[in-house]
Protein backbone atom coordinates (compact mmCIF):
# COMPACT_ATOMS: atom_id res chain seq x y z
CA UNK A 1 0.00 0.00 0.00
CA UNK A 2 2.84 2.40 0.85
CA UNK A 3 4.41 1.61 -2.52
CA UNK A 4 1.17 2.56 -4.37
CA UNK A 5 0.88 5.80 -2.40
CA UNK A 6 4.49 6.74 -3.25
CA UNK A 7 3.94 5.82 -6.89
CA UNK A 8 0.80 7.99 -7.07
CA UNK A 9 2.62 10.90 -5.42
CA UNK A 10 5.51 10.55 -7.89
CA UNK A 11 3.06 10.58 -10.77
CA UNK A 12 1.46 13.78 -9.50
CA UNK A 13 4.87 15.40 -9.16
CA UNK A 14 5.60 14.78 -12.85
CA UNK A 15 2.14 15.88 -14.08
CA UNK A 16 2.07 19.01 -16.23
CA UNK A 17 1.56 22.24 -14.28
CA UNK A 18 -1.25 23.43 -16.57
CA UNK A 19 -4.63 21.83 -16.01
CA UNK A 20 -6.79 20.94 -18.98
CA UNK A 21 -10.43 21.96 -18.55
CA UNK A 22 -12.90 19.11 -18.72
CA UNK A 23 -15.58 21.23 -20.42
CA UNK A 24 -15.61 24.83 -21.56
CA UNK A 25 -18.24 27.04 -19.93
CA UNK A 26 -20.56 28.69 -22.40
CA UNK A 27 -20.32 32.47 -22.55
CA UNK A 28 -23.00 34.03 -20.38
CA UNK A 29 -25.76 35.66 -22.43
CA UNK A 30 -26.47 38.59 -20.12
CA UNK A 31 -25.51 42.10 -19.13
CA UNK A 32 -23.93 42.61 -15.71
CA UNK A 33 -24.38 45.90 -13.83
CA UNK A 34 -21.93 46.05 -10.90
CA UNK A 35 -22.92 49.65 -10.04
CA UNK A 36 -26.06 51.68 -10.68
CA UNK A 37 -27.09 55.01 -9.13
CA UNK A 38 -30.42 56.83 -9.36
CA UNK A 39 -30.53 60.50 -8.31
CA UNK A 40 -33.48 62.71 -7.35
CA UNK A 41 -32.58 66.43 -7.11
CA UNK A 42 -33.61 68.95 -4.48
CA UNK A 43 -36.78 70.97 -4.96
CA UNK A 44 -34.90 74.15 -4.05
CA UNK A 45 -35.16 76.99 -6.59
CA UNK A 46 -32.43 77.06 -9.22
CA UNK A 47 -31.56 73.35 -9.00
CA UNK A 48 -31.91 70.98 -11.92
CA UNK A 49 -35.42 69.52 -12.14
CA UNK A 50 -34.19 66.30 -13.75
CA UNK A 51 -33.56 62.93 -12.18
CA UNK A 52 -30.54 61.03 -13.43
CA UNK A 53 -29.40 57.46 -13.82
CA UNK A 54 -25.77 56.32 -14.10
CA UNK A 55 -24.38 52.80 -14.25
CA UNK A 56 -21.55 50.62 -15.45
CA UNK A 57 -22.47 47.63 -17.60
CA UNK A 58 -20.68 44.67 -19.18
CA UNK A 59 -21.95 42.58 -22.08
CA UNK A 60 -20.78 39.22 -20.72
CA UNK A 61 -20.98 37.53 -24.14
CA UNK A 62 -18.13 39.74 -25.39
CA UNK A 63 -16.65 41.10 -22.12
CA UNK A 64 -17.27 44.64 -23.38
CA UNK A 65 -17.93 47.31 -20.73
CA UNK A 66 -19.10 50.90 -20.77
CA UNK A 67 -20.64 53.64 -18.63
CA UNK A 68 -24.22 54.78 -19.24
CA UNK A 69 -25.82 57.95 -17.88
CA UNK A 70 -28.73 60.22 -18.71
CA UNK A 71 -31.19 62.65 -17.21
CA UNK A 72 -34.96 62.24 -17.36
CA UNK A 73 -38.01 64.06 -16.16
CA UNK A 74 -38.58 66.65 -14.91
CA UNK A 75 -38.94 64.89 -11.58
CA UNK A 76 -39.18 67.96 -9.35
CA UNK A 77 -39.08 71.72 -9.66
CA UNK A 78 -39.72 74.75 -7.59
CA UNK A 79 -42.89 76.73 -8.24
CA UNK A 80 -40.58 79.75 -8.51
CA UNK A 81 -38.86 78.29 -11.58
CA UNK A 82 -40.39 78.09 -15.07
CA UNK A 83 -41.86 74.73 -16.08
CA UNK A 84 -38.93 72.72 -17.49
CA UNK A 85 -38.89 70.92 -20.82
CA UNK A 86 -39.51 67.16 -20.91
CA UNK A 87 -36.49 64.84 -21.12
CA UNK A 88 -37.99 61.42 -21.78
CA UNK A 89 -35.89 58.27 -21.27
CA UNK A 90 -38.26 55.63 -22.61
CA UNK A 91 -38.27 53.08 -25.44
CA UNK A 92 -38.86 55.83 -28.02
CA UNK A 93 -36.11 58.02 -26.51
CA UNK A 94 -33.21 55.78 -25.41
CA UNK A 95 -29.86 57.25 -24.37
CA UNK A 96 -26.54 56.20 -25.87
CA UNK A 97 -23.80 55.08 -23.51
CA UNK A 98 -20.11 56.07 -23.66
CA UNK A 99 -19.67 53.12 -26.05
CA UNK A 100 -22.37 53.98 -28.61
CA UNK A 101 -23.00 50.31 -29.41
CA UNK A 102 -24.84 50.31 -26.03
CA UNK A 103 -28.06 52.21 -25.30
CA UNK A 104 -30.61 52.12 -22.51
CA UNK A 105 -33.92 53.43 -21.34
CA UNK A 106 -36.06 53.24 -18.22
CA UNK A 107 -38.63 50.47 -18.61
CA UNK A 108 -40.60 51.25 -15.42
CA UNK A 109 -39.94 54.16 -13.05
CA UNK A 110 -41.72 54.46 -9.73
CA UNK A 111 -38.96 56.58 -8.17
CA UNK A 112 -35.25 56.37 -7.34
CA UNK A 113 -35.95 53.43 -5.06
CA UNK A 114 -37.91 51.26 -7.53
CA UNK A 115 -37.31 51.09 -11.28
CA UNK A 116 -36.11 48.83 -14.08
CA UNK A 117 -33.82 49.49 -17.04
CA UNK A 118 -33.74 48.10 -20.56
CA UNK A 119 -30.30 47.71 -22.15
CA UNK A 120 -29.47 47.14 -25.79
CA UNK A 121 -26.20 46.53 -27.62
CA UNK A 122 -25.62 46.06 -31.32
CA UNK A 123 -22.83 43.58 -32.10
CA UNK A 124 -22.05 42.62 -35.71
CA UNK A 125 -25.61 43.34 -36.91
CA UNK A 126 -27.03 41.36 -33.96
CA UNK A 127 -28.85 42.99 -31.03
CA UNK A 128 -28.37 41.94 -27.42
CA UNK A 129 -31.31 43.18 -25.34
CA UNK A 130 -32.55 42.69 -21.80
CA UNK A 131 -34.78 44.27 -19.16
CA UNK A 132 -33.72 44.23 -15.52
CA UNK A 133 -35.86 43.12 -12.65
CA UNK A 134 -36.93 45.99 -10.39
CA UNK A 135 -33.90 47.65 -8.87
CA UNK A 136 -34.87 48.15 -5.25
CA UNK A 137 -33.97 47.15 -1.69
CA UNK A 138 -36.17 44.02 -1.81
CA UNK A 139 -34.40 42.52 -4.82
CA UNK A 140 -30.87 43.61 -3.83
CA UNK A 141 -30.82 43.73 -0.01
CA UNK A 142 -27.08 43.03 0.37
CA UNK A 143 -25.87 45.68 -2.09
CA UNK A 144 -28.58 48.36 -1.81
CA UNK A 145 -27.92 51.82 -0.39
CA UNK A 146 -29.99 54.99 -0.20
CA UNK A 147 -29.50 58.41 1.34
CA UNK A 148 -31.87 61.37 1.31
CA UNK A 149 -31.45 64.90 2.60
CA UNK A 150 -33.88 67.39 4.10
CA UNK A 151 -34.06 69.32 0.83
CA UNK A 152 -35.52 66.27 -0.93
CA UNK A 153 -32.33 65.15 -2.66
CA UNK A 154 -31.98 61.35 -2.78
CA UNK A 155 -29.39 58.91 -4.09
CA UNK A 156 -30.16 55.21 -4.35
CA UNK A 157 -27.65 52.65 -5.57
CA UNK A 158 -26.75 49.01 -5.98
CA UNK A 159 -23.04 48.28 -5.83
CA UNK A 160 -21.51 44.80 -5.93
CA UNK A 161 -18.83 43.35 -8.19
CA UNK A 162 -19.46 39.86 -6.80
CA UNK A 163 -23.28 40.01 -7.04
CA UNK A 164 -24.10 42.44 -9.87
CA UNK A 165 -27.52 43.14 -11.29
CA UNK A 166 -27.81 40.41 -13.96
CA UNK A 167 -29.92 41.25 -17.00
CA UNK A 168 -30.37 38.15 -19.22
CA UNK A 169 -30.68 38.64 -22.97
CA UNK A 170 -34.24 38.20 -24.21
pLDDT tens profile 91-102: 999 999 999 999
Q: Minimal CA–CA distance to 51: which of 42, 60, 64?
A: 42
All structural domains of the chain with their residue ranges: 28-168
Summarize pLDDT for 24-72 with one digit per residue, the tens: 345 699 999 999 999 999 988 889 999 999 999 999 999 999 999 999 9
Torsion of CA 47, 69, 157, 121, to 10 degrees: 160
pTM value is 0.82
Summarize pLDDT for 99-115 with one digit per residue, the tens: 999 999 999 999 999 99
User: Each residue of 117-131: b (16+ CB within 10 Å) or e?
Assistant: bbbbbeeeeeebebe
Torsion of CA 65, 121, 104, 167, to 10 degrees: -70
Inter-residue contact 61 to 95 (CB < 8 Å):
no
Amino acid sequence: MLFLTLLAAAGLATAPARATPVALRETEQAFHIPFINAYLPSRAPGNTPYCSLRFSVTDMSTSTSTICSAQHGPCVWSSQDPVPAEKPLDAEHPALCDDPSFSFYIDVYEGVSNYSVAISRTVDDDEHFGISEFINSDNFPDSWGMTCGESGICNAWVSSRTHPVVVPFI
